[in-house]
Structure 1
Amino acid sequence: MTSLPLSPVPSAPSVAPASAAEPRARFRDLVASEWLRLRSLRSTGWALLLSALVVVAFNVGTAWDHSRYWHQYDAEARAGFLRSGMALSDAFTANASMVLAVCAGAMGAMAVVGDHAGGLARTVFAAVPARSSLMAAKVLVVAAVQTVFGAVAAGTSFWLTQAVLSGRGAGLPLSHPGALRIVVASALLAPVCALSGMALGALLRRAAASVLASVAVLLILPMMLGERRYVTAVLAHGTPVHAWRRLAWQGPFEPPFPWTQGGAWTVYALWAVGAAAVTVAAVRRRDQ
């Protein structure tokens, strides 16, 4: 009895692992994706432009006021204006710093909340399971954009205000002692506040609540903390706006409880690093 030849059994098709079919996204790809998403929103450009215009307008308006009524000052007042370097106070005013802090904080919060408002966060996290890397890329992009925004606002303000005051012989160059420090401190205030807004947005996940919280933390709280008592002075020194005031101060710094420029720069760094860490860590235990 002869046996019939057996037909070969077809082997099951091999299934390539998902990791081989779709390589893991590189961090630079995530950064490029976040930059593309941020740039594609028309509201981003308009918000940056309008915020910069308002900030510059506050500073130029103050310098124009001093220039316009220069003839009403007596000789002693004019000499005091020149001697104390008041032109640098016009380069970036306290009102402009508060406007910059609020605008940057709100834009930072909306950079995070915008993904959750329309449910886009679920899709993004499904496509990129590495949530921490994705949020780190978002933090890097927002920080870079806000740094450029702050540099443009601070640099333009300095150039225009000193040009206005130069008509009265009161303008100062960037090489004047303290001038560069004011420009850099004003420029870096934007990314510090934006990162703080991102942290609040990552924690609250609601647009209105996040924006209001950023205003409360960055503006209202520093206004409530005075420097006449030790405890409130120490708490005030730990806020970005008060750190900016310390760096922008002209002349001898003689409050009841003085502190150093190095301490103010440290406050900047701690707020930026701490806010970035909170933003990245907040997505690890959330469903979206």
Structure 2
Amino acid sequence: MTATTSTSTDVPGGERAAREPRARFRDLVAAEWLKHRSLRSTWIAYGATALAVIGFNAGIAYDTYSHWTLQVSKDRAAFASDGIALQQAFTANAALLMALALGAIGALVVVGEYSTGTIRTTFAAVPARRSVMAAKAVVVTVVTTVFGMAVAGVSFTLTQAILDRRDAGVSICDPGALRVVLASALLAPVCALVGLALGAVIQHTASTMITSVVVILVLPLFLTDGRHWSAVVGHTLPYRAWLRLVDVNHSPIAFPWTTGGAWTVYTVWVCIACAIAVTGVHRRDQ
């Protein structure tokens, strides 16, 4: 009687599985990009956010244009020199709107898969969870940076074109203009990565969205510059960092800080969010 032997092809996870090459990181990035762009709701969210932000900024500029004759001559001369034209290039309310929307989009990259259960399939195909989350972070960073640059660039061009009809617009070469555009553009990936990190840790849609709103919107509005501890905590938040970066003339405040500090806040939030997203999910059971 002959003995029946099993080949490695018959044994799940055996020698054949051991010989299979691990997924390359660029393949994971390509897979995450495919998932990101294949969802129609994602592009609807991007489109709606872009239209709302650009429309909001353009509306403020047009209101200034249409009521320009009510300005006294002294105020007209100081309009550009006081940085008001740049304030209308990307308004505070538009920045909050974009920050909230991008935070939600970043969160849905993760919690969308948890809610449908497809995250189990993803981790079954690629057990290296950290690599998967790193690929998600790369895709979110690239896409939202391009989105932010497009929205900030169009907003600046459109608002200044409207104001220029009253000889009140500024160019991108004017002092502080490029900083306003870059700060507004990079606010998008910062908030999207915050949402991604919260989604990776919380893993529930409603809880993630509520926490995102608290971090991005409620805390900056709750904290004040009138108290030292409150000002210091506020300076660590992305939205407050954006406010400092777009304040071209640097209005005097009780506890001032530098533009370098504001750029550092952007960088630290990105690094911490990526670290949480990549390491947090590795410690959780699916």
Category of TM-score, reference length = shorter chain: over 0.9
**1:212 equivalent in alignment to 2:205:** no
Q: Provide Cα deviations, 1:98-130, integer angstroms capped at 9, x if missing partner.
A: 001100101011111011001111111011000
Structure 1 gaps of 5+ residues are 1-6
1:168 to 160, 166, 169: 166
Q: Provide Cα deviations, 1:195-228, integer angstroms capped at 9, x if missing partner.
A: 0011111111111111111011100111000000
1:253 to 251, 265, 273: 251
**1:13, CA displacement in angstroms?**
5.8
Give the corresponding residue for 2:99. 101
**1:57 equivalent in alignment to 2:50:** no
Q: Secondary structure at the match of 2:283?
A: coil
Higher mean C-alpha displacement, 244-253 vs 224-233: 244-253
**1:15 equivalent in alignment to 2:13:** no
**1:284 equivalent in alignment to 2:277:** no
Aligned counterparts, 1:10-159, within 5 A: 12=5, 14-15=7-8, 17-19=15-17, 22-159=20-157
**1:136, CA displacement in angstroms?**
0.2
Give the corresponding residue for 1:3. none
**Letter of the aligned partner of 2:189 in structure 1?**
P
**1:83, CA displacement in angstroms?**
2.0
Give the corresponding residue for 2:229. 231
**1:11, CA displacement in angstroms?**
8.3
* Distance in 2 between residues matched to 1:18 and 1:123, nearest whole Å: 20
* Distance in 1 between residues matched to 2:250 and 2:127, nearest whole Å: 53
**1:177 equivalent in alignment to 2:175:** yes
* Distance in 1 between residues matched to 2:80 and 2:118, nearest whole Å: 55
* Distance in 2 between residues matched to 1:169 and 1:77, nearest whole Å: 13
* Distance in 1 between residues matched to 2:54 and 2:66, nearest whole Å: 18
Contact conserved, 2:61 with 2:162, CA < 8 A, in 1? yes
* Distance in 2 between residues matched to 1:121 and 1:260, nearest whole Å: 42
Contact conserved, 1:162 with 1:171, CA < 8 A, in 2? yes
* Distance in 2 between residues matched to 1:275 and 1:282, nearest whole Å: 10
Higher mean C-alpha displacement, 76-85 vs 218-227: 76-85
Q: Secondary structure at the match of 1:24?
A: coil
Larger Rg: 1
Q: Secondary structure at the match of 1:284?
A: helix
Contact conserved, 2:61 with 2:88, CA < 8 A, in 1? yes
**Letter of the aligned partner of 2:151 in structure 1?**
A
* Distance in 1 between residues matched to 2:146 and 2:16, nearest whole Å: 39
Give the corresponding residue for 2:193. 195
**Letter of the aligned partner of 1:15 in structure 2?**
S
**TM-score between both structures, scaled by the size of structure 1:** 0.94
User: Structure 1 residues 182, 140: CA separation in 2 closer, same or farther (over 3 Å shift)?
Assistant: same
**1:14, CA displacement in angstroms?**
4.3
**1:82, CA displacement in angstroms?**
2.5
The alignment-based identity, stated in percent, is 51
* Distance in 1 between residues matched to 2:266 and 2:247, nearest whole Å: 16
* Distance in 2 between residues matched to 1:249 and 1:213, nearest whole Å: 28
- Alpha-carbon RMSD across the aligned residues, in angstroms, is 1.4
Contact conserved, 2:225 with 2:253, CA < 8 A, in 1? yes
* Distance in 2 between residues matched to 1:163 and 1:249, nearest whole Å: 21
* Distance in 2 between residues matched to 1:13 and 1:114, nearest whole Å: 41
Structure 2 gaps of 5+ residues are 10-14
Runs of 4 or more above 6 Å deviation = none
**1:12, CA displacement in angstroms?**
3.9
**1:172, CA displacement in angstroms?**
0.7
* Distance in 1 between residues matched to 2:281 and 2:250, nearest whole Å: 45
Contact conserved, 2:244 with 2:250, CA < 8 A, in 1? no
**Letter of the aligned partner of 2:99 in structure 1?**
A
Contact conserved, 1:86 with 1:250, CA < 8 A, in 2? no
